Structure 1
Amino acid sequence: MGETPGKTETERRDVGGMGVGDDDDRWAQLPPELLPLIYRRLPDSADFVRFRAACRAWRDAAPESDPPSQLPWALERRGSAFQTRLHSRFYSPSSGRTYSARGHGGRSWLVVDGVCQGHVVSMVDLSRTVLCNPLTGDRLALPPAPYPQWRHGVVHVVADGRGGGDGEEGSCLVVNTSTRTRHFGYCRPGDTKWSMVDGRQDMCHRAYHGGRFYVNTDAHETLVIDASTGAVESVLPPPGRPPGATACGDYLVESCGKLLRAILFPRDGVVAASAQDYYLNVYQLEPAPDGKCSWAKVETIGDRALFFDKHGHGMSLEPNDAAELRQNCVYFMHEKRTWVDAGEYRFLCRYSMENGEVDRVVSLPDTFGDTWLVPGLCPSE
């Protein structure tokens, strides 16, 4: 509809006394120093994308490389592993929302279980795998898988290789583990083949730190493996455990240049009926005077938060209270099965290092909780 003849500019203003475009101008003129304080407290990446879309000034103040810290998103698992999937759905426990991202039309959209830094691993067909960023559509080809995924039930994990001290800072590390033999291989984007580590069959959870893999064994020892040669350099004895306690989870993760080990125990020493029945002991790798290393128990992880999935893979995160991501806390998974309806329920739990209690439990949708992703907005280099 056209404007009414004779109306002045003042008369065309709204009831609040502002012109049609003045409201947008007011938001754009917020002091630049306030904008980072706002967007860094947003609950998840979707809100960050909306923030950047508000106006040019907000987009310039919020670079894609600086998204707010948040809890990882859980990826939905559904249908056959060989089913073509045009879309993937993600659940954000911080905001309680579910998001959908378009897939890449492969035979299998996803064959990854674990925690991922910005990317997931997609199987295009039975022999080709690619590293995908579901938010940007970015894809990087990986070498042919070292194990036959469709027979061995291979678990792909995308780990953060930063802080390795070997000139690889900022690169991501893809670890491919055979669930049958427990051997594993690793590569980085651009590699033409996998570097294999296959000397033993008692390997469990692992972390990459300082050019080495640290791998827990069935006997709770930790193998120190040179990543370039695959040779076992040393074997660390297990940390001390409470008398009679049986561990429910044993995790390794690098945090701020330090290697941490978190062991989950039931409070009664035998079984945990609920999430509140768990407690965690956290250990840090410390050098000894004789040049050897050992695990030393710590009572705090400082201003960081640790996150672990049910497979023993983990990451260190920067706190953000708005996203329920709090410092000096450890996030872990608890599963509960019921015989009545043959159901399996998943819960994301937060353990406070300050008071030794599980102070938050988030129930997850039925088909979420095996694969976790920290959304990344920047294309891979």
Structure 2
Amino acid sequence: MPVVIEDKWSQLPPELLHLICRKLPDTGNFIQFRAVCTSWQDGAPLSDPPPQLPWILEHRGSKLQARRHLCFYSHSSGKMYCVLVGARSSWLLGSGAFQGHVIAIADLAKTMLYNPFTSEVQALRPAPYKPWLDGVFHVVGDGDAGCMVVNTCTVTRHFAYCRPGVDAGWNIFDERKDMCHNTYCGGRFFVNTGDKRTLIIDADTRDVMTIVPAPSMENFATALGDYLVASHGKILRALQYPHDGNQVASASDYYFNVYQLDMLDDNKARWRKVETIGNAVLFFDNHGHGFSLEPNDSAGLRRDCIYFVHKKRMWVRFCNYRSLCRYSIHDGRVDKTMSLANKLGETWVIPSLCYADE
């Protein structure tokens, strides 16, 4: 009689399978884990995935280039992933993403919120500015309400936002013409202005609640980057500088000063310099947007650090040299974690595998 070999791997307890899948460092590993067998799939439900870590989106090149797929690089697993997009031939992607969603412009006319991992599409009203000329999109989280789409006009220096599926159109902040990078947290927008102050704006009424003075000790004339990011209920501001004011030649020539926004009495606030961000990890893209995560133990990402892309123009080869860098807030050290292909480094995307109806 044939010998029946018991499949011990499929007999692992569900609680153990759940603990294992929570330690997986990458979305691709999570998908492979679920594909092993039915019991492993039950132990790793889509409704409770491990902490999702960001992927780097491919730089698209020409904005009118017809593509049928998107390419992503996972720093955690060191793998490239190719994701098929919809049937339309022309896709323009805005910068910035939240939980796998990106902004897509189809045929230069239709604006939509698109998830390339689930093919979920939410139509949006036409953008308030010409996005292929002077608008920069990003997607921010809005708690249990889902997400919001923000479109910042780089020419007029004001911005607009909409909540997909809720609002009839765009809410435009046009009272001021000096608004630059912004972030969102707890029903309020935090916006840096041209004079380096920070506005705290009520998202519903669009009223300016507070104007926060710029950090008094900073020299903004030599700053290479000024980022706002919401991190675990806190608002952080990171200023990027070259060492000794010299022109940046390599990734090691950067350093960051990080500030936390403290709310005071009488509805006032101030920026306070901090020496650590704890267990958080900050990710900044080339468009001035960022987000904060707390990676799991298997991710290979170092806590209390800032990940950013260093880009240097190589005139001899007429291309860009790109590298993914990590700045340690603890000791001020910059490490180049890996070299990126010229086509990578446009922005970060956090993969989301859960459909809206689940």
- Name the CA distance, whole Å, in 1 between partners of 2:215 and 2:296: 31
Residue 213 of structure 2 corresponds to residue 220 of structure 1: no
Cα displacement (A) at 1:138: 1.1
Letter in 1 for 2:154: T
Q: Which of 119, 136, 154 is equivalent to 1:155?
A: 136
Alignment of 1:229-268 (within 5 A): 229-241=205-217, 246-268=222-244
- Name the CA distance, whole Å, in 2 between partners of 1:254 and 1:321: 22
Q: Which of 275, 278, 294 is equivalent to 2:270?
A: 294
Cα displacement (A) at 1:323: 2.5
Residue 57 of structure 2 corresponds to residue 75 of structure 1: yes
- Name the CA distance, whole Å, in 1 between partners of 2:65 and 2:251: 34
Cα displacement (A) at 1:353: 2.1
- Name the CA distance, whole Å, in 2 between partners of 1:291 and 1:203: 21
Q: Which of 310, 321, 325 is equivalent to 2:301?
A: 325
Tell me, what secondary structure is at the counterpart of 2:99? strand
Tell me, what secondary structure is at the counterpart of 2:302? coil
- Name the CA distance, whole Å, in 2 between partners of 1:281 and 1:328: 13
Specify the alignment match of 1:5 in structure 2: none
- Name the CA distance, whole Å, in 1 between partners of 2:141 and 2:219: 35
8 A contact 2:199–2:211 mirrored in 1: yes
Specify the alignment match of 2:176 in structure 1: 200
8 A contact 1:275–1:361 mirrored in 2: no
8 A contact 2:68–2:89 mirrored in 1: no
- Name the CA distance, whole Å, in 2 between partners of 1:291 and 1:244: 26
Q: Which of 321, 338, 342 is equivalent to 2:314?
A: 338
Letter in 1 for 2:138: V
Number of paired residues? 356
Cα displacement (A) at 1:170: 4.4
Alignment of 1:106-185 (within 5 A): 106-150=88-132, 152-162=133-143, 169-185=144-160
- Identical residues among aligned pairs (%): 54
Tell me, what secondary structure is at the counterpart of 1:176? strand
8 A contact 2:323–2:338 mirrored in 1: yes
Specify the alignment match of 1:16 in structure 2: none
Alignment of 1:272-291 (within 5 A): 272-291=248-267
Relative distance call for 1:302 and 1:79 in structure 2 (3 A) is closer
Letter in 1 for 2:301: L
Gaps of 5+ in 2: none
* Cα deviation digits, residues 24-55 of structure 1 (max 9, x gap): x3112223333233223323211111101112
What TM-score results when the alignment is normalised by the length of structure 1? 0.87
Cα displacement (A) at 1:204: 1.4
Letter in 1 for 2:256: L
Cα displacement (A) at 1:134: 0.8
Letter in 1 for 2:30: F
Letter in 2 for 1:223: L
- Name the CA distance, whole Å, in 1 between partners of 2:341 and 2:72: 10
**Which region of structure 1 is more displaced relative to structure 2, 357-366 or 280-289?**
357-366
Relative distance call for 1:212 and 1:243 in structure 2 (3 A) is closer
Tell me, what secondary structure is at the counterpart of 2:33? helix
Specify the alignment match of 1:98 in structure 2: 80
**Which region of structure 1 is more displaced relative to structure 2, 286-295 or 354-363?**
354-363
Residue 2 of structure 2 corresponds to residue 26 of structure 1: no
Tell me, what secondary structure is at the counterpart of 2:246? coil
Gaps of 5+ in 1: 1-7, 14-18, 163-168
Specify the alignment match of 1:187 in structure 2: 162
8 A contact 2:210–2:269 mirrored in 1: no
- Name the CA distance, whole Å, in 2 between partners of 1:201 and 1:161: 25
- Name the CA distance, whole Å, in 2 between partners of 1:242 and 1:154: 29
